[in-house]
Amino acid sequence: MNKFVKIAAATAIAMSGATAVMAQDEGLYIPNLSYRTGPFASTGIPLMNGQRDYVAMLNARDGGLNGVHLEFDECETGYSTEKGVECYEATKDQAIVTQPWSTGITLQVLPRTNVDEIPILAPGYGFSAMGDGSVFQWGFNMPSSYWDGASMILNEISGGDLSSLAGQKIAFLHLDHPYGKEPLPFLEAMAEANGFELLPIPVGLSEMQNQASQWLQIRRERPDYVVMWGWGAMNAGAISEAVKTGYPMDQFVGVWWSGHDADLAAVGADGTGYRSISWSAPQPDAPVMAAVREHVFEAGNSLASEEELNSVFYQRGLVISMILTEGIAAAQDHFGSATIDAAQLRWGLENVNITDERLAELGMSGMVAPFATSCSDHTGHSGGWMLRWDGDSFEVDSDHLSPDSETIRALEVSAAAEYAAANAPWPTASCE
C-alpha cells in the first residue's frame, strides 16, 4: 500500500501546483518542447542539440545575454500532441516563449497563446499563415514559411520562369499529416496559374518505412519532378525507394526537413544529386562553430557527436536559438532591462533585424540569409539556398533564392482571415 500513498501524495502535490518547483529565480526561462524519442527522433535530436548548444555557448562565453543567464530547458514530447500540451501547461507560467516543434502541437497551442500571452516561435514550421502578424499576434515562423519553401523550389526548378513549367507534371510526395498538407494550397494555386499538373501523393504515418506503392505510382506517372515534404523516418524511406526505382536524383527536391545528413548517409553515393531547399546552410568554418566547440563541445557539455557538428540540422539548431536570442536582445534593448517578460519578448521577436553585419558579428555569416520581421510580417521571408547531396555531405548549390513574396502575402492574408473568422471572436492588431 505504501506505493499508493506515495503516488497519492505526489498527485496531491501536483494538483496544488507543483509547477512552482520549476520556478526560475534568476535568468530567462526558455523551454523547448523537444522530441528525442519516438518515430521522428532521428530528425529531432541534432536540431535539439544545436539549439541547446548555442544557448550553452552564450552562457559559458558571455555569461548569458546582456548579463542575464539563459535558462534553457527541454520538455520531452516524443512528437505527441498530448505530451506537448502537457509540456506547454507545465512551462507556461515561467516561460517567456514556447517552441512547440510540431505542427500538431502548434495547432493546439496557438489559440491559447492569445489568452496566455506567450509568443510561439516556430522557425520554418508551424502555419504559413502565421506570417500575417496582425492576425497571429503571438505566432512567429521566421525566417521562412512552408509556402516560401515551395515557392523557392518552383523558382529553382523552373529556372526562375514559372511559365516554363506549363504542361509538366510535378509529384508532391508528402506526409499525410497537417505538416505535409501545409504547402498544398500554394502549390495548387501555382499549378492553376502556370498550367503544370500537380500530383499529390500522400504517405501515411504507418507507411513511412514502406513506400513501395508511392514510388510505383511515381514510376507509372513519370512526373518531371518530385517535391517531397517528409519528416523523420519518411525521408530515408523515400530516398532509398527513389534510388531503387531509378528516379533521376536531380529531379528530386525536398523541403528543409528532408535534408538531413543521416537520411542520405544510408544511400551514400547513390543519392548524389538530391537537393533540399534550406533557409540555413552549414558553415563548418564559421567563428560561431569554433566558439561552440571551445565552450561547449570540448568542455564535455554537448550531447552531440563529433560528426554531427557539421551536419545541416545541428547548425540549423544553432540558427534557431540565435533567432530567439536576437529577439530577446532586441527586447532587452528596447525596454532597457535585462530581464524581460513574455509580452516584451513578443515585441522583440517582431523587431528582429538580422543583417549581414549582424551575422558577421555573431560569427554566423552565411548560415542564414538576412531578414527582418515587423508587426505585420512575422515570417521575414529570408529566402534560402538549394543544398545538394554530393554523396558525402550537403553543399550549397545555388545562389540565394527568394520566394514569390507577393503571391504568398496574398495567400497568407486570406488564410489568416479565414482562421480568424472560424475562431471568432479573434483579436487582431492594426499594424500602423
Residues 204 to 233: which contact another protein by CB under 8 A?
204-210, 212-214, 216-217, 219-220, 232-233
* Span 45-64, contacts to another protein by CB under 8 A: 45
Rule CB under 8 A: say whether 236 interacts with another protein. yes
184 binds another protein (CB under 8 A): yes
Cβ at position 246, least distance to another protein in Å? 6
- 24 lies in the binding site for another protein (CB under 8 A): no
Beta strands in 53-147 (DSSP E): 70-74, 120-121, 139-140
| Least distance from another protein to the Cβ atom of residue 64, Å | 19
Consecutive H or E run containing 114? helix 103-116
Q: Are 30 and 70 in contact (CB under 8 A)?
A: yes
Read off φ and ψ for residue 121, nearest 5 degrees. Answer: -115, 115
Residues 153-182 that bind another protein (CB under 8 A): 176-178, 181-182
Residue ranges in 385-424 that form contacts with another protein under rule CB under 8 A = 415, 419, 422-424
- The region of 60-68, 261-269, 309-317, 371-379 touching another protein under the rule CB under 8 A is 261-269
Residue type, 412: E
Residue 398, C-alpha cell as written in the block: 545555388
Instruction: Determine which residue in the list 60, 189, 266, 338 makes contact with another protein, applying CB under 8 A.
Output: 266
By CB under 8 A, tell whether 107 contacts another protein.
Answer: yes
Q: Which of 176, 224 has the CB closer to another protein?
A: 176
In 223-291, the DSSP E strands lie at: 225-229, 252-254, 275-278
β-pairing verdict for 394-396 and 385-389:
antiparallel
Site string for another protein, 124-153 (x = CB under 8 A): ---x-x------------------------
Ramachandran bin of 95, using left for φ above 0, alpha for ψ from -120 to 50, beta for the remaining angles: beta
User: Segment contacting another protein (CB under 8 A): 18-26, 137-145, 274-282, 290-298?
Assistant: 18-26
343 makes contact with another protein (CB under 8 A): no
> Cβ contacts of residue 18 below 8 Å, gap of 6+?
none
Kindly state the smallest distance separating residue 424's Cβ from another protein, in Å.
7
Task: Report if residue 370 touches another protein, rule: CB under 8 A.
Answer: no
* Nearer to another protein (CB atom), residue 7 or residue 193: 7
Select 22 or 343, whichever has its Cβ closest to another protein. 22
Q: What CA–CA distance (Å, rounded) separates 15 from 45? A: 32
- Nearest-angstrom CA–CA distance, 144 and 146: 7
185 binds another protein (CB under 8 A): yes
The angle, 0 to 180 degrees and rounded to 10, between the axes of the packed helices 41-62 and 312-335 is 50
Choice from 75, 191, 281, 359 touching another protein (CB under 8 A): 75
Q: Choose among 361, 364, 368: nearest CA to 289.
A: 364
| Distance of alpha carbon 123 from alpha carbon 169, whole angstroms | 30
